[in-house]
């Protein structure tokens, strides 16, 4: 019930703007329904008139008065109703198509926009695949439902009610006969739907598990091959597949049962109507011509009466999926967005220093990662963060760029708390090279120009040269216009990182953060980048997170983190003399002659 409420709110939000088209569509639907249910009446009438004519004509006494005029009128009416029905149906269906594809387009736009605004926390705590399925399956389900189900529900209800009204106008007894079996049909349908739903749920679960398994295994095929685990993998697969086998069989049977069942019920009902109708004509002393027309009319009615019931039950599943989809989308829309405090200012260029002041931070409540960390970078200086894995280096970076907000303490640019400046200007000032290089599909040029799409090629090539990737790119047949994607690129891991360095260099950031940016580049290349980087870093305030100490020997300050605490800090020489944690790291890592 809560789902339905949420879905209604969600749909009304997106459909509000289309109220005119929707009302028009509704009117047209009702009109189409009216024409559709009235047409059989005229068909009956024309048959009746024809029969009357025949009776009159057969009788030699009255033959001269026989005229088909009434028949022609009825036939013309029938024709008019058929045409009107087609036109109304066409127009309403067009409106509905337009509204549903546009509304879905809006939802897609809204969803993507929302994702762009949400906090990093959301992405860190939700699986990409789950989020992605909002685009791939939920939006799809909603579109299908709007296009085929929601409006069809409306028009079928209209049709159903229309048929009932007209039937009772025509002949009460026959009308009762037609509708009497409805509760039985609905009961059957309800039972089958309920069964089908549980079965389908189980089926979807099993299929989801199987898909997840297949995905993971094939992505990890290198491990499977190198360890010779193929048989084992196949064995596991068979288990998942067996599950899918069993649940799918049930799911398919129950969900496939509905249609033949309803159609069968409709057939039986039709038979009953015909049977009873003819009995009525013969025993109720009805005019035979009228009776003939009546039976013919009710044959049509009986089919039309059952059609909406069959339709509604068969779209039930679609509706259910759309409701679930709407719920998931509204849940996303309810997620926190990145907080922009109100009177935000633009961050000016760094004048003096960037400070992390007495910072406490936890990703999850109760599990503090950073404990009272204080780090200061003077303008134009380079501060290096070192420390074992998991000590919180990346976390510090997350805070500097406001991917996360501190629990206590402050991140200050000069004396400005970053929570009081606009996110946009903060991130304009801060340039990051992330640990995992990510590329986007598009050309190499587009990737380097990612942060500055409008910049000229000269600057791009300059950046590529500084990152020592220009020569490689030039060696490609298509050069900078080579098409790449994250999975399918011409780059090695190290080269990918060079790309992301080039991308960052191009934005000319005020504060530069390098998160182990060169850990997958060989030291010779790194040395070359380093020289270029030295130029980039020169005069620029920077944070460098590195495992390779060689890259940070020239740092103005080295801060050693351990378990979320600063345990040492100073220049390379100072720290070596201290003979503490850093000195040990250094001795372990470097080659001494």
Partner 1 sequence: MHILKRHIKTYRLDIFFAVISVMVMAGATLLQPRLLQEILKAIMASDQDTVNQYGIALIAVACVGLIGGILNTIFAARVAQGIAADLREEAYQKVQSFSLSNIEKFSTGHLVVRLTNDVWQVQSLIMMSLQSLARIPILFIGAFILAITTLPKLWWVMILMIVCIILASQILFKRMGKYFGRVQKLIDRINTIAKENLQGIRVVKSFNQENNQQQKFDHDSDNLTQLNTTIGYLFSAMFPGFMLIANLAITVAIYFVSLGVASHPQDLAAIPAFVTYLMQVLFAIMIGGMISTFASRGLVALRRIGEVLQTTPDLIDEDVNDMTIKGDIAFEDVSFQYPESNDTTLKNISFNIKPGEMVGIVGATGSGKTTLAQLIGRLYDPTHGNVLIDQVNLKNISQESLRRGISYVLQRVILFSGTIAENLRQGKQDATLTEMQNAADIAQASEFINRYDDQFEHLISERSANLSGGQKQRLSIARGVIGQPKILILDDSTSALDARSEKLVQDALATHLKDTTTIVIAEKISSVRHADRILVLDNGRLVGNGPHETLLKESAVYREIFETQRAKEI
405-424: which residues touch partner 1 (CB under 8 A)? 424
Q: Is 83 in the site for partner 1 (CB under 8 A)?
A: yes
Eight-state DSSP code of residue 532 = H
Of 307 and 398, which CB lies nearer to ligand ADP in the complex structure?
398
Nearest-CA neighbor of 290 among 15, 46, 114?
46
Q: Is 369 in the site for ligand ADP (CB under 6 A)?
A: yes
Enumerate residues 6+ apart whose C-beta is below 8 A from 427.
Answer: 401, 402
Which does residue 393 touch among partner 1, ligand ADP, none (CB within 5 to 8 A, set by kind)?
ligand ADP
Q: Does 425 bind ligand ADP (CB under 6 A)?
A: no
Distance CA 509, CA 512 (A): 6
* Interaction between residue 363 and ligand ADP (CB under 6 A): yes
Q: Is 360 helix (H, G, I), strand (E, B) or coil?
A: strand
Nearer to partner 1, 136 or 172 (CB): 136
Burial 553-589 (b: 16+ CB within 10 A, else e): eebebbbbbeebebebbbebeebeeeeebbeebbeee
Q: Is 470 in the site for ligand ADP (CB under 6 A)?
A: no
Q: How many CB atoms lie within 10 A of CB 316?
A: 19
CB-CB contact of 554 with 497 (8 Å):
no
Distance CA 425, CA 256 (A): 57
Task: Calculate helix-pair angle for 288-333, 69-117, nearest 10 degrees.
Answer: 10
- CA dist 107 and 16 (Å) reads 13
Q: By rule CB under 6 A, what string of x and - marks binding of each residue 37-76 to ligand ADP?
A: ----------------------------------------
90 binds, among partner 1, ligand ADP, none (CB under 5 to 8 A by kind): partner 1
Residue with structure tokens 């027309």?
293
Select 386 or 536, whichever has its Cβ closest to ligand ADP. Answer: 386
Whole-angstrom Cα distance, residue 40 to residue 301? 7
Contact predicate 502/452, CB 8 Å: no
Select the residue interacting with partner 1 from 7, 22, 37, 96 (CB under 8 A).
Answer: 96
Is 390 a residue that touches ligand ADP (CB under 6 A)?
A: yes
For the CA atoms of 398, 403, 409, 414, the dihedral, rounded to the nearest 10 degrees, stands at 90
d(C-alpha 355, C-alpha 342), whole Å: 23
Q: Considering only the stretches 64-72, 207-215, 319-327, 389-397, report the one whose residues sit in contact with ligand ADP under the rule CB under 6 A.
A: 389-397
Among 22, 75, 149, 354, binds partner 1 (CB under 8 A): 75
68 binds, among ligand ADP, partner 1, none (CB under 5 to 8 A by kind): partner 1
- Considering only 54, 164, 455, 459, the residue that binds partner 1 (CB under 8 A) is 54
489 touches ligand ADP (CB under 6 A): no
Over the Cα atoms of the chain, what is R_g? Answer: 37
Contact map string, positions 131 to 150, toward partner 1, x by CB under 8 A = xx--xx------x---x---
Q: Shortest Cβ distance from residue 398 to ligand ADP (Å)? A: 7
Compute φ and ψ for 229, nearest 5 degrees: -100, 15
| Residue 186 sits in the site that holds partner 1 (CB under 8 A) | no
Looking at residues 372 to 411 of the shown chain, list those that interact with partner 1 (rule: CB under 8 A).
387-390, 401, 403
- Map the footprint of partner 1 across residues 475-494, applying CB under 8 A: 485-488, 492-494
Site for ligand ADP in 535-554 (CB under 6 A): none
Which residue lies nearer to partner 1 by CB, 416 or 422? 422
Q: Does position 497 bind ligand ADP by CB under 6 A?
A: no
The option from ligand ADP, partner 1, none interacting with 538 (CB < 5 to 8 A, set by class) reads none
Select the residue interacting with ligand ADP from 394, 410, 452, 571 (CB under 6 A): 394
Q: How many residues bind partner 1 (CB under 8 A)?
A: 168
Residues in the chain: 593
Interface residue with partner 1 among 116, 334, 343, 364 (CB under 8 A) is 116
Half-sphere exposure of 91 toward its Cβ, with a 13 Å CA cutoff?
18
Q: Which x/- pattern over 419-448 shows residues binding partner 1 (rule: CB under 8 A)?
A: -----x--xx-xxx-xx--xxxx-------
Residues 6 or more apart in contact with residue 39 via CB below 8 angstroms: 78, 81, 82, 85
* Spatial distance between the Cα atoms of 76 and 369, rounded to a whole number of angstroms: 83
Per-residue tokens: 77: 């009416």
Residues in touch with ligand ADP (CB under 6 A): 124, 363-364, 369, 387, 389-395, 492
């Amino acid at each position: 019930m809560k789902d339905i409420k949420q879905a209604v709110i969600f749909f009304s939000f997106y459909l509000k703007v289309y109220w005119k088209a929707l009302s028009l569509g509704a009117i047209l639907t009702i009109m189409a329904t009216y024409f559709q249910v009235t047409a059989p009446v005229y068909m009956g009438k024309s048959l009746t008139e024809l029969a009357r004519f025949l009776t009159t004509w057969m009788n030699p006494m009255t033959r001269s008065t026989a005229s088909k005029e009434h028949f022609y009128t009825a036939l013309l009416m029938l024709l008019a109703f058929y045409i009107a029905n087609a036109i109304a149906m066409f127009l309403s269906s067009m409106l509905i198509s337009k509204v549903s594809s546009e509304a879905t387009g809006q939802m897609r736009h809204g969803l993507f926009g929302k994702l762009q605004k949400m906090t990093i926390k959301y992405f860190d705590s939700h699986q990409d695949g789950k989020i992605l399925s909002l685009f791939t399956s939920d939006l799809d389900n909603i579109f299908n439902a709007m296009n085929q189900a929601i409006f069809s529900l409306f028009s079928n209800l209209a049709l159903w009610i229309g048929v009932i009204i007209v039937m009772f106008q025509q002949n009460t007894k026959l009308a009762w006969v037609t509708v009497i079996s409805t509760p039985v049909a609905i009961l059957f349908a309800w039972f089958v739907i309920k069964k089908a739903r549980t079965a389908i749920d189980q089926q979807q679960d099993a299929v989801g598990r199987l898909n997840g398994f297949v995905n993971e295994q094939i992505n990890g095929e290198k491990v499977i091959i190198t360890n010779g685990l193929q048989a084992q993998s196949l064995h596991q697969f068979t288990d998942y597949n067996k599950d899918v086998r069993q649940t799918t069989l049930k799911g398919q049977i129950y969900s496939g049962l509905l249609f033949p069942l309803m159609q069968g019920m409709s057939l039986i009902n039709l038979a009953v109507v015909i049977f009873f109708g003819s009995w009525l004509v013969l025993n109720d002393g009805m005019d035979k011509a009228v009776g003939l027309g009546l039976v013919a009319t009710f044959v049509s009615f009986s089919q039309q009466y059952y059609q909406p019931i069959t339709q509604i039950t068969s779209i039930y599943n679609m509706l259910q999926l759309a409701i679930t989809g709407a719920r998931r989308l509204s849940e996303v829309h309810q997620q926190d967005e990145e907080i922009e405090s109100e009177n935000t200012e633009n961050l000016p260029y760094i004048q003096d220093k960037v400070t992390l002041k007495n910072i406490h931070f936890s990703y999850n409540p109760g599990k503090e990662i950073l404990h009272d960390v204080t780090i200061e970078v003077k303008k134009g200086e380079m501060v290096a963060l070192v420390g074992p894995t998991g000590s919180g280096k990346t976390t510090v970076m997350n805070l500097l760029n406001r991917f996360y907000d501190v629990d206590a303490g402050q991140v200050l640019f000069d004396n400005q708390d970053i929570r009081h400046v606009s996110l946009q200007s903060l991130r304009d000032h801060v340039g990051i090279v992330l640990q995992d290089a990510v590329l986007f599909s598009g050309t190499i040029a587009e990737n380097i120009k990612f942060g500055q799409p409008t910049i000229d090629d000269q600057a791009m090539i300059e950046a590529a040269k500084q990152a020592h990737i220009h020569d490689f790119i030039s060696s490609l047949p298509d050069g900078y216009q080579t098409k790449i994607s994250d999975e399918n690129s011409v780059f090695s891991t190290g080269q990918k990182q060079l790309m992301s360095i080039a991308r960052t260099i191009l934005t000319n950031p005020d504060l530069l953060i390098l998160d182990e940016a060169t850990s997958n580049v060989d030291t010779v290349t790194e040395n070359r980048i380093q020289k270029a980087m030295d130029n980039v870093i020169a005069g620029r305030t920077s944070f460098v997170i590195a495992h390779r100490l060689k890259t940070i020997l020239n740092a103005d300050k080295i801060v050693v983190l351990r378990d979320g605490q600063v345990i040492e800090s100073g220049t390379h020489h100072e720290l070596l003399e201290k003979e503490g944690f850093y000195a040990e790291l250094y001795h372990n890592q470097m080659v001494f002659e």
